Structures are given as C-alpha cells and as structure tokens.
C-alpha cells in the first residue's frame, strides 16, 4: 500500500516558540489517521502546514505525491480541508455554499449539479439544501462543511478538530458520517482531535503529539497493548487488615497496586484471573468487598504513559488566552 | 479568473441578504445631506438689532427708516428702539439682542458739515455667522444711505456687474457631491473593510486559501466585489440625492453615463485605499476604531462642506493627497455644472494613479498563506 501523506522532519517555529519540532510519519492510502493531543500540542499547526496554509520552517511533506513547499497548488487540488472554525457562509444557503466552493475548485458546470446532489445525500442534508446555514444546528453546519470539503472529489481529506464544540449526539453523528463517506469514496482521512473516544473509535492509526513532538504512533489496539497493564481494577473493602496492600501485590498478574483508606487501584495483565484470585483472598481473610470494577486500558492511559500527564490535565493547563493565541496564530 | 468571480458571486449574494448593511451605508449620507444641507444652507434672518438714536435729526431718522425697510423686507434684522445705551448694552451681553446700532448725538450735525459722520455697531461676535451677517447687512444699509438722492446722468464711479453662469446653487446642492463620495466611502468601509477583517477573523479566508485560487484571483475577487457594492451605493445616492437637492435635469442619460464612470473610478480608488489599510490587519476592532478618524480626515479637507481656499496650510497638504478632494471636485463639475469629461480629466487621472499605487502596495503586502 502506498503512502497518501509522507511527513519528513517538519518543523515550524514562531519566533522563539517551536510549535512543531521535527515530526515525521506516513499515512497510508485509505486509512483514517488521527493526530491526538491537547490544545497547543502542535496538531493544528501541523495540519495547516500539510494543507499549505503555513510554510514550514524546515523539513517538508508529500501530499498525494506533491511537495507542499514546491507544488502547493497541486496539493490544494488533491485535498479537501475542513478548518477548525466553522467557516461556511451563514447568510448563504447550504447549496449556495457548495456551489461557490465548486467554482473555487474549478469543478465543471456539467458535473457540479450531480456532485452536489450526491454530497447532500451523503451528509443527509438534501431537504435542507435551500436553508440558510445560520438556521442550522452546529452538527448540521459541520456536515455542510464536510460536504463543502468534498465538493471537488479529493482523495485526501483533512479535518481539524471537526467535532469540537458539538454535543455528544452530534459528535457521534459526524463520526458515522465520516466512516460512511470514507467507505463510499475511498478516502484517506487525516483528523486532529483531543477526544480520546473519537480517536479510539474512528481512527485506524493514531499519532500522539505533545509539545510539538510525535510521542507514539500505531493503531489504537497496539498502542493500548504497548503499555504495561491491560486492565485496571478499582476495588473497595469494608475494612482491611494490616499488610493488605502487600498481599494484593502478590496476586497473580498484578503489576502495581496503589491505594489508601480501604480503596485500591490494581494494574493487571490479566483482569479476569486477578479478579478471581482477589475474591478468593478476600473471602479467606474475612474481608468483605464493597465494590469492584474492571476496565480495559484506555487511550488516556496510553497518553499518560507517553506524555507523563493525563490529556484532561493537559487540556486544563492550556489557559483560555493560550488557546485563543493558538487558534489565531497556529 | 473564474475563481475570482466565485468570490464576487459569494460577496454579492451576502450583500443582497444584508439589508441592514445596505440601509446603514446609504442612510447616513442621505441624513447628512438633508440635515447639513438645510441647516447651513439658509440665509440668517430675524437678528435682533437694538437701535439707540441719541440724535433724532433727519439724517438719523433716515438711517432708522432704512433699518426698518430691511426688517420688513429681507427680514435679516428685527429692530428694537432703545433710549438708554446702557440698557441696550446690558441686553446685548445677556443675549436679548444680537447687536446695538448707536447713532451718536452729533450725527446729523456731522452729516450736514460733511465731517465724517459715524454710527457704531456693537455686536456679539461669539457667533461669527451672525456677526458677519449683521455687519454685512448694516454695511449695505449705509452704502444705500450714502447714495446721492439724485444719480448723476453719467456715473463717474466704477461698478461691478455680476453675471452668474449657472442657476442658483443652494447649499444642499453644494453638499451633494460630498455626500455621494461619503456614501461610496461608507460602503467601502462597512461592506469592504469591516467585512473583510471579520471574515478573516472568523476563518472564512482559510476556506479560500486551501483552494487552488491564485493570489491575483483572491485580490481581484475581494476588490471587484467591494467596488460593485460601492458603485451601487454611489449611484443610489446620486439618484436620491439629486431629487432631494433639486438638481436640474438629473436623469439626462449622458450625464448619468459620465457619473457612472466617475462613481466606478472613485469606488475603485477608495477600495484600493481600504485594501491597503486592511491587508495586514487581523483585529476586527481596528477598522471600527479608525472608521471615524478616516471619515473626518478624508471628508472635511476635501472641500465637500467648505471651500479649500479657506484652509490653513497643513490642511491643504492633506487635501492635496486626499482622494476625496478629486472625487468631490469631479462630482461638483458633473452634478452642479453638467460638464463633460474634459473638465474632470485631471481628477480621473489622479484617482486612477492613486488606485494603481495603493493596489500595487496592497498586493505586495498581501500574503497567500496565514
């Protein structure tokens, strides 16, 4: 399988600040590739370089075989882009937005009508084609933008945080829409997000980006498998005898145990067997289990492992001013 | 170039659906034309003139009769007789009268002796329009007084005969050319500058920049659409303003053609200026902040409301570089004098050179990337 995108040691600096620091990766044709990271991690800067909105300071990338620094117009013809901000014209109708962009991409008049009909059907907005965009919900506006980005039949589709600001139901609708369109149109999709569940469910492969650097890259399954501990057990007891934590650590497959006040978190490479042994030990010691939950490793655990902090903490660290700055000056 | 037309189509569709924008751009110049035109255009009337006659002789009575004639004819002044000059001066200071005409006790004697007879006008000079009008009226009154009772058969004094080339031009008509340029500027500022920066801030320009559109097509799209909007505003004000101001024969087809050409050239010059000012701006507040300053700096030195010959030197420098100056001058020629292109050739030349310089500078500053 050939590469739709090849990023080669790309760097972007704004004065003394390095937003993207020598990132390299390749996206295969037909896959959905996710860039995962908090605000300010460099995702948007990276995607803006790939779609020719920003000039790299160093390095380059090939998109659909074209060099982004030397053949930007060829790159622009080959790609569809959905920027982070909602950029459809609110005063124009859904159809008018698509017509204008079809003209901007030079889509021949003969093909235009059929293309727009098909796209409106694909994003389920046919009945809203004459509605002004300002009268649509956030999720519907995002679907207009998806249709707009595909109006010239690109093979590679870039989406910069397409579900940010949407409610959970709309987010899921956008995911389903993207999966359907990708299957129908044989698209390669590069998507940036800071939603773990979105990256997990949507992406074939994920690159974790933090502080402008690529921290890890693989499929969600392999990423989760790559870190120690496959299951996390959260257990609470009514009371515990002295030395209970050490006894929990000796249970089969347990890698680590933390806890206090009769509440413990255990990391295990085999959740079911550790759970069974835990119940047997508690019964033998006369300790009653108040609650027990077993969960698989999440991408959040992967993010913590590779970046040393939780994604939600990283999101909170980026204060609103920083976020505004990053939105204006990627 | 077809991509530039896509931008133009988009801008004009949005323009059509923004009636508030259209109304705001055109209402202000019309309101200004009507209010300023009629506020400043009329002659000053009914100024209160206190007359203190301390002489009561026949020559003094003649002066008072002439003043009464003005009061009942042109009505520039209303006369009030006072006996006490102190009371008259107190009323002047308290604003009850605008001026005091004092006929001194020896006036009649000096008239008969031909010994420099004088009357005094003491006036409230805090309002120069009022004081100038009163001084001019009484100056004319005394000129009439000094005329000999019987005119010599062959006058020995030189006289001036004034021949007016054009019909009387009321102030509201004088103001119309400036209002037309103002309406073009308003549309350039609101429909061009402010929307351009707002779209940039909202990320709409990102949508353009990721398409294969060229830098030239982008610039052409933005500026042609802005020019079209400004031309609509300018032609609208020419039609409505001509009716309001009572321009004679306003819809002569040849005059309308010449006006249309001038509106297009003026619109392009002002949109070029706006594009140059806004090409690197990203803060949506900035065009709003400079709107009032630009309006004042460009409009008032242009000769739209007052002749430039009365300006101090520093303001004349601004006027020379101000594209409004040439546009207003050209519109005055076409609207008030109904001249041909020959009379406005130098104005058109300046505006075209100004457009070329501003657009070239803006193009050099325009970035195809973020």
Chain A closest-CA separation from residue B218 CA (Å): 10
Question: Is B203–A85 a contact, with Cβ atoms under 8 angstroms apart?
Answer: yes
Asked if A25 and A164 sit in the same domain, the reply is yes
At A272-302, the pLDDT tens digits run 889 999 999 999 988 999 999 988 888 888 8
Asked if A147 and A265 sit in the same domain, the reply is no
Asked if A15 and A149 sit in the same domain, the reply is yes
| Angstrom distance (rounded) from CA B263 to CA B184 | 8
Asked if A107 and A252 sit in the same domain, the reply is no
Residue with the bigger pLDDT between B80 and A197: it is B80
Asked if A242 and A126 sit in the same domain, the reply is no
Find the CATH number of the domain harbouring A185: 3.40.50.300
Chain A closest-CA separation from residue B77 CA (Å): 59
Question: Is A83–B6 a contact, with Cβ atoms under 8 angstroms apart?
Answer: no
Asked if A156 and A284 sit in the same domain, the reply is no
Assembly ipTM: 0.78
Domain span at A73: 3-224+303-328
Asked if A283 and A307 sit in the same domain, the reply is no
pLDDT at B305: 87
pLDDT category at A321 given cuts 50, 70, 90 is very low
| Nearest residue, CB atoms, A104 vs list B13, B203, B211 | B211
| Nearest residue, CB atoms, B6 vs list A92, A104, A148 | A104
pLDDT at A131: 95
| Angstrom distance (rounded) from CA B121 to CA B99 | 7
What is the mean pLDDT of the segment spanning A303-311? 74
Asked if A66 and A130 sit in the same domain, the reply is yes
Asked if A37 and A168 sit in the same domain, the reply is yes
Asked if A196 and A285 sit in the same domain, the reply is no
Mutation target among A49, A84, A87, A130 for the B interface, most CBs of B within 10 A: A87
Protein fold of B43-143: abc type-2 transporter like fold (3.40.1710)
Find the CATH number of the domain harbouring A245: 3.30.70.100
Prediction pTM value = 0.80
Strand, coil or helix: B303: coil
DSSP line for A259-326: EETTEEEEEES-HHHHHHHHHHHHHHHTPPEEEEEEEE--HHHHHHHHHSS-HHHHHHHS-HHHHHHH
For chain A, give the percent of residues with pLDDT over 70. 93
Question: Is B13–A79 a contact, with Cβ atoms under 8 angstroms apart?
Answer: no
pLDDT category at A313 given cuts 50, 70, 90 is low
pLDDT category at A324 given cuts 50, 70, 90 is very low
Name chain A contacts of B369, Cβ cutoff 8 Å. Answer: 52-55
| Angstrom distance (rounded) from CA A273 to CA B74 | 114
- Contact indicator for B257, B342 with CB cutoff of 8 Å: no
Mutation target among B18, B211, B221 for the A interface, most CBs of A within 10 A: B211
| Angstrom distance (rounded) from CA A11 to CA B135 | 78
Residues of chain B where predicted confidence (pLDDT) is lower than 50: none
pLDDT at B273: 94
For chain A, give the percent of residues with pLDDT over 90. 50
pLDDT category at A310 given cuts 50, 70, 90 is low
| Angstrom distance (rounded) from CA B6 to CA A278 | 69
Asked if A173 and A314 sit in the same domain, the reply is yes
Asked if A49 and A183 sit in the same domain, the reply is yes
Cα atoms in the Cβ-side hemisphere of radius 13 Å centred on A11: 11
Number of domains forming the structure of chain A: 2
A316, pLDDT greater than 60:
no
Question: Is B370–A85 a contact, with Cβ atoms under 8 angstroms apart?
Answer: no
CATH 3.40.1710.10 placement within chain B: 43-143
Question: Is B6–A85 a contact, with Cβ atoms under 8 angstroms apart?
Answer: no
């Amino acid at each position: 399988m050939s590469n739709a995108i090849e990023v080669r040691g790309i760097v972007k600096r704004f004065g003394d600040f390095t937003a993207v620091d020598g990132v390299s990766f390749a996206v295969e044709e037909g896959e959905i590739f996710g860039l995962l990271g908090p605000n300010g991690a460099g995702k948007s800067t990276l995607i803006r370089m790939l779609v020719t909105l920003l000039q790299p300071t160093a390095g380059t990338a090939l998109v659909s075989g074209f060099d982004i620094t030397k053949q930007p117009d060829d790159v622009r013809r080959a790609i569809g882009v959905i920027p982070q901000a909602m950029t459809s014209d609110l005063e124009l109708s859904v159809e008018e937005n698509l017509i204008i962009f079809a003209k901007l991409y030079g889509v021949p008049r003969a093909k235009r009508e059929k293309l727009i009909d098909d796209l409106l059907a694909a994003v389920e907005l046919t009945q809203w084609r004459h509605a002004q965009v300002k009268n649509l919900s956030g999720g519907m506006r995002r679907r207009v933008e998806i249709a707009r980005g595909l109006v010239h039949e690109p093979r590679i589709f870039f989406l910069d945080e397409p579900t940010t600001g949407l409610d959970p139901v709309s987010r899921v609708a956008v995911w389903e829409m993207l999966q359907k369109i990708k299957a129908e149109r044989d698209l390669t999709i590069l998507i940036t997000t800071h939603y773990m569940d979105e990256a997990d469910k949507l992406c074939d492969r994920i690159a974790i980006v933090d502080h402008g650097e690529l921290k890890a890259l693989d499929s969600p399954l392999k990423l989760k498998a790559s870190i120690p501990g496959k299951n996390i057990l959260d257990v609470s007891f009514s009371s515990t005898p002295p030395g209970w934590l050490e006894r929990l650590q000796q249970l089969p497959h347990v890698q680590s145990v933390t806890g206090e006040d009769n509440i413990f978190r255990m990391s295990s490479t085999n959740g079911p067997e550790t759970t069974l042994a835990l119940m047997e030990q508690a019964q033998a010691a006369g300790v009653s289990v108040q609650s027990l939950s077993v969960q698989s490793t999440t991408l959040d655990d992967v993010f913590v492992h590779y970046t040393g902090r939780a994604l939600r903490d990283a999101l909170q660290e980026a204060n609103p001013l920083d976020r505004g700055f990053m939105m204006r000056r990627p | 170039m077809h991509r530039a037309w896509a931008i133009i189509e988009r801008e004009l569709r949005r323009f059509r659906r923004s009636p508030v924008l259209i109304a705001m751009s055109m209402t202000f110049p019309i309101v200004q034309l009507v209010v300023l035109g009629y506020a400043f255009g009329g002659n000053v009337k009914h100024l209160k003139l206190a007359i203190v006659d301390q002489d009561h002789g026949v020559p003094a009575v003649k002066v008072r009769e002439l003043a009464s004639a003005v009061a009942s004819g042109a009505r520039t002044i209303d006369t009030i007789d006072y006996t006490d000059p102190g009371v008259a001066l107190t009323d002047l200071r308290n604003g009850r009268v605008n001026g005091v005409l004092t006929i001194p006790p020896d006036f009649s004697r000096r008239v008969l002796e031909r010994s420099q007879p004088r009357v005094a006008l003491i006036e409230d000079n805090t309002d120069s329009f009022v004081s100038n009008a009163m001084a001019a009226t009484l100056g004319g009154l005394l000129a009439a007084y000094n005329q000999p009772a019987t005119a010599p058969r062959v006058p020995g004094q030189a006289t001036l005969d004034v021949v007016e080339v054009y019909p009387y031009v009321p102030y509201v008509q004088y103001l119309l050319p400036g209002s037309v340029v103002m309406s073009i500027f308003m549309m350039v500022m609101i429909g061009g500058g402010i929307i351009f920066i707002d779209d940039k801030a909202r990320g709409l320009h990102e949508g353009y920049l990721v398409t294969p559109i060229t830098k030239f097509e982008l610039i052409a799209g933005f500026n042609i659409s802005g020019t079209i909007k400004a031309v609509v505003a300018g032609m609208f004000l020419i039609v409505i303003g001509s009716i309001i101001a009572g321009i004679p024969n306003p819809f002569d087809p040849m005059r309308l053609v010449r006006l249309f050409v001038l509106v297009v050239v003026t619109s392009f010059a002002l949109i070029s200026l706006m594009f140059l000012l806004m090409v690197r701006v990203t803060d949506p507040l900035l065009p709003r902040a400079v709107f009032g300053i630009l309006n004042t700096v460009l409009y008032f030195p242009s000769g739209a409301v007052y002749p430039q010959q009365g300006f101090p030197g520093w303001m004349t420098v601004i006027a020379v570089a101000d594209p409004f100056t040439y546009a207003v001058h050209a519109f005055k020629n076409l609207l008030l004098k109904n001249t041909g292109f020959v009379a406005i050739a130098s104005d058109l030349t300046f505006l075209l050179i100004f457009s070329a310089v501003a657009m070239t500078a803006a193009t050099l500053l325009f970035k195809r990337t973020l």
